[in-house]
């Protein structure tokens, strides 16, 4: 029986929960994409971006202050996602959903869950492949990324809106912007009715997303966490598995399928 390096007293209970769980919510953050080569928010920023904190770039004020700097950052990140492959963690989650009711709620703006085969994915913070006019909101069709994903990116003037000449911005949720209402309501409802919440690769620092595990806990769902480091969610989680998504998830799904 895989102990997942948990305390021995917790192992039988964890396996029983994995085998019994029928309505599973997988809540992911940037750590779920780390083994695909996508830097997390906590990783030091590289190149042009190393002097900036994500909290300063991922805001409407930051974009208006220096549109080329922020747009270039997203174009570099979009190129890295397009050049990346889903990792074993993404693929294990998609495989699990073939035989169980598994929904992914992700804070990530990449499409790696979908490319691994997950079809029920809720994006709380939008998508790096969407873009729209900052002023009138008109959708904008992004061309294939032109930035060298292996490089460190550079400032890039955003295109202009054909309808109103406004600046085109990434279709992500920035700090101090509201989350998409429909996705948020669905995420809360899923966490209220889940019989297992699995948190993977999130520092649990950004709200309201970071409040979802609390919603599940209050509804009585067991909470498991996969993270190589301790996070703010450790105190809430019933099972804290120290490890990476790519290594732990295939083992966890194998244990769940024994049921
Ligand atoms: C809002 C999209 C209403 C853009 C992102 C309540 C309390 C305190 C603050 C607030 C609050 N309510 C609102 C706020 C303000 C703010 C906030 O929470 N600030 C924080 C800094 C305190 N929240 C907001 O502004 C939100 N909006 O509340 O609207 C409103 C309206 C008007 C005015 C005020 C409020 C909107 C927040 C959304 C911001 N957008 N992303 C983009 O991608 O550029 S946030 C971004 O950072 C992510 O999406 C994620 O949500 C967040 C944190 O990132 P993580 O995913 O957790 O990743 P991180 O790098 O932090 O950690 C990685 C983890 O993985 C680590 O633990 C690491 O150990 C682990 N790891 C590493 N490798 C692996 C691994 N794990 C597994 N396997 C591995 N291999
Ligand atoms: Zn416009």
Kindly report the three-state secondary structure assignment for every residue of 215-233: HHHHCCCCEEEECCCCCCC
Look at residue 163 and tell me whether its pLDDT is greater than 90: yes
CA distance 218 to 38: 33
| Mean pLDDT, residues 22-37 taken together | 97
Domain 1-37+86-125+179-259 is classified in which CATH homologous superfamily? TPP-binding domain (3.40.50.1220)
Which ligand 1 atom is at minimum distance from the Cα of 74? 44
Neighbours of ion ligand 2 (CB under 5 A): 133, 135-136, 138, 161, 163-164, 166
Closest CA to 53 of 218, 221, 206, 233: 206
Query: In this structure, what token pair is assigned to residue 76?
Result: 């570099």
The per-residue pLDDT of the chain, averaged, comes to 96
Cis ω for the linkage preceding 214 (within 30 of 0)? no
Q: pLDDT digit string (tens) for 113-138?
A: 999 999 999 999 999 999 999 999 99
Look at residue 45 and tell me whether its pLDDT is greater than 80: no
Q: Verify whether residue 125 is a known catalytic residue.
A: yes
CA distance 257 to 247: 17
206 C-beta closer than 6 A to ligand 1: yes
Architecture of the CATH domain 39-83+128-172:
2-Layer Sandwich (3.30)
Percent of the residues in the chain that have a pLDDT greater than 70, as a whole number: 100
| Mean pLDDT, residues 88-93 taken together | 98
35 C-beta closer than 6 A to ligand 1: yes
Q: Is the dihedral of CA 47, 209, 217, 258 positive or negative?
A: negative
- State the helix-helix crossing angle for 88-96 and 245-257, rounded to 10 degrees: 20
CA distance 116 to 94: 6
pLDDT for res 11: 96
pLDDT for res 259: 63
Q: Which of 4, 27, 28, 30 to mutate to test the pocket of ligand 1 (most atoms within 8 A of CB)?
A: 30
Which ligand 1 atom is at minimum distance from the Cα of 229? 69
Please report which ligand is nearest the Cα atom of 87: 1
Question: Where do the domains of the chain lie?
Answer: 1-37+86-125+179-259, 39-83+128-172
pLDDT for res 5: 94
pTM above threshold 0.85: yes
């Amino acid at each position: 029986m895989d102990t997942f390096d948990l305390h021995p007293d917790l192992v039988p209970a964890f396996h029983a929960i994995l085998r019994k769980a029928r309505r599973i919510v997988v809540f992911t953050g940037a750590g779920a994409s780390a083994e695909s080569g996508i830097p997390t928010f906590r990783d030091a920023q590289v190149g042009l971006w190393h002097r900036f904190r994500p909290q300063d770039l991922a805001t409407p004020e930051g974009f208006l202050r220096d549109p080329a700097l922020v747009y270039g950052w997203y174009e570099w990140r979009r190129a890295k996602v397009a050049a990346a492959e889903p990792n074993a963690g993404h693929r294990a989650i998609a495989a699990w959903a073939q035989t169980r009711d598994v929904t992914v709620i992700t804070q990530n703006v990449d499409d790696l869950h979908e490319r691994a085969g997950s079809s029920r994915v809720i994006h709380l913070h939008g998508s790096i492949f969407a873009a729209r006019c900052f002023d009138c909101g008109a959708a904008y069709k992004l061309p294939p990324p032109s930035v060298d994903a292996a490089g460190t990116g550079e400032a890039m003037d955003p295109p202009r809106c054909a309808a109103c000449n406004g600046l085109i911005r990434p279709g992500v949720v920035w700090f101090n912007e509201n989350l998409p209402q429909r996705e948020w309501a669905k995420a809360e409802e899923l966490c209220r009715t889940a019989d297992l919440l699995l948190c993977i690769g999130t520092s649990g620092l950004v709200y309201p997303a970071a409040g979802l595990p609390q919603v599940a806990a209050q509804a009585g769902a067991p909470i498991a966490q996969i993270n190589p480091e301790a996070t703010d969610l450790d105190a809430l989680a019933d099972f804290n598995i120290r490890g990476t998504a790519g290594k732990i998830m295939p083992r966890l799904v194998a244990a769940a399928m024994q049921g």
